[in-house]
């Protein structure tokens, strides 16, 4: 989501890896625990954004899959 200004925490752009000036707007993740942020110019590059506005479109919930299969009680197999 577009953020007109960031809080006073130092942030680095997740695209170009340079510091983001808190006085200028940019894009950031609004999800809980997400720290993604990007300069407006970086976030709207054609190799980063496909041009589709997804504001107010719910995100797909991914099913969490355990990285192993239970073979029997106390025995698992990783994959």
Q: What digits encode the pLDDT tens for the residues 21-75?
A: 877 878 888 777 888 889 989 999 999 889 888 888 887 888 888 888 888 888 8
Q: Does the residue 64 lie in any domain?
A: no
Q: Tally the domains of the chain.
A: 1
- CATH number, domain of 11, equals 3.30.60
Q: For residue 26, is it within any domain?
A: yes
- In this structure, is residue 57 part of a structural domain? no
For residue 26, the enclosing domain spans 1-52
pLDDT value, residue 14: 92
pTM across the whole model: 0.57
Residue 46, in any domain of the structure = yes
pLDDT value, residue 11: 81
CB proximity list for 69: less than 8 A, separation 6 or greater: 76, 77, 79
Q: Is there a domain that residue 16 lies in? A: yes
């Amino acid at each position: 989501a577009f953020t007109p200004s960031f809080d006073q925490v130092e942030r680095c752009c997740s695209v170009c890896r340079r510091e983001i000036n808190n006085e200028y707007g940019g894009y950031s993740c609004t999800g809980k625990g997400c720290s993604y942020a990007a300069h407006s110019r970086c976030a709207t590059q054609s190799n980063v954004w496909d041009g589709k506005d997804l504001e107010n479109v719910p995100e797909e919930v991914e099913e969490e899959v355990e990285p192993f299969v239970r073979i029997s009680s106390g025995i698992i197999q990783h994959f």
